[in-house]
Structure 1
Amino acid sequence: MSDLIIRPARPQEIPDLLAFWARAAEGTSITDDPAGVARLLEHDPQALIVAERAGAVIGTVIAGWDGWRASLYRLAVDPDQRRQGIGAALLAAAEQRFAALGGRRADAMVLEHNEVGRQAWRSAGYRREDQWRRWVKPLAG
């Protein structure tokens, strides 16, 4: 793990990040496009955290903070490099970010059918809150 670098994503990496998510993340989002990721990085340059090894992105997490809620999205690790502590390192960086900003609880978006993801979140100390369900309304197209 000593060769693992945890850092904010860079705007020039957007195409590589989208390709990485297509390969390593479960599901897609309406904002999985260059403009959506660019808006995130412009709004909060520290929110998209990457794990890098040998110059390649091998993991990501979005640690979004709106001043009230600490929200986690897009925790993904390269399938060939899982179970090496990369996800844990990304979550530790996200949780440190939230604590420094005054966050008191982190919420994670996890797809119901993603058992691998659900196990990773459980292992990291997160628990499902059955009383909540996500309600959405697309605002574009």
Structure 2
Amino acid sequence: MVRAMTMDDYDDVYALWMSIHGFGIRSVDDSREGIERFIKRNPGLSAVDVEDGKIVGAILCGHDGRRACLYHVCVSEEYRMHGIGKKMVLFCYEALKKEKINKVCLNAFVTNEVGNKFWQKMGWTLRDDMNYYDHTLNEENLTIFNK
């Protein structure tokens, strides 16, 4: 069952993130305080999927008033290929439409073969007409990848 993520879900969502091979966690942004800030700024937009009494999927979803972005889209490896990812994405789409947001973006690591196949199957367009830039404002916000 897909529902909106709340801060009560943080520990279970964090455990899910840590269980996924190759998943990148940011030391500041993905901390309890970082996720609480994100959820408060974007209430009702992020999603979790609960199966067998546990969280098996999660998406962080937010927008800036013009464009939305999906972050940390994941499904527990043993629950993949059951439509959970698609249901969560559709939940986020509907929540964003209520906010009158018309476009959604995301970043997927090139090495994330499972994720990239999923987004292509969902009809997302891989852009080759622009460059992606970022600039780090907090050097302590490190990305650590699960092994």
Tell me the TM-score normalized by structure 1. Answer: 0.89
Alignment match, 1:90: 88
Q: What is residue 77 of structure 1 aligned with on the other side?
A: 75
Tell me the distance in 2 between the aligned counterparts of 1:10 and 1:96: 17
Unaligned runs of 5+ in 2: 141-147
1:138 CA drift (Å): 2.1
Distance 2:74 2:131 in 1: 22
Give the aligned partner of residue 47 of structure 1: 45
**RMSD in angstroms over aligned alpha carbons?**
1.5
After TM superposition, the runs of 4+ consecutive aligned structure 1 residues lying more than 3 A away are none
Percent of matched pairs sharing the same residue: 23
TM-score by length of 2: 0.85
Residue from 130, 133, 140 that aligns with 2:131 = 133
The runs of 5 or more residues in structure 1 that have no matched partner are: none
Q: CA deviation at 1:105?
A: 1.6
Q: How many residues of Structure 1 are paired with residues of Structure 2 in the alignment?
A: 137
Structure 2 letter corresponding to 1:110: A
3-state SS in 1 of match to 2:73: strand
Structure with more relative contact order (C-alpha pairs < 8 Å, separation 6 or more) = 2
Q: Per-residue displacement from partner, 1:82-139 (whole Å, max 9, x unpaired)? A: 0000001011111111222112221121111101100000011101101233222222
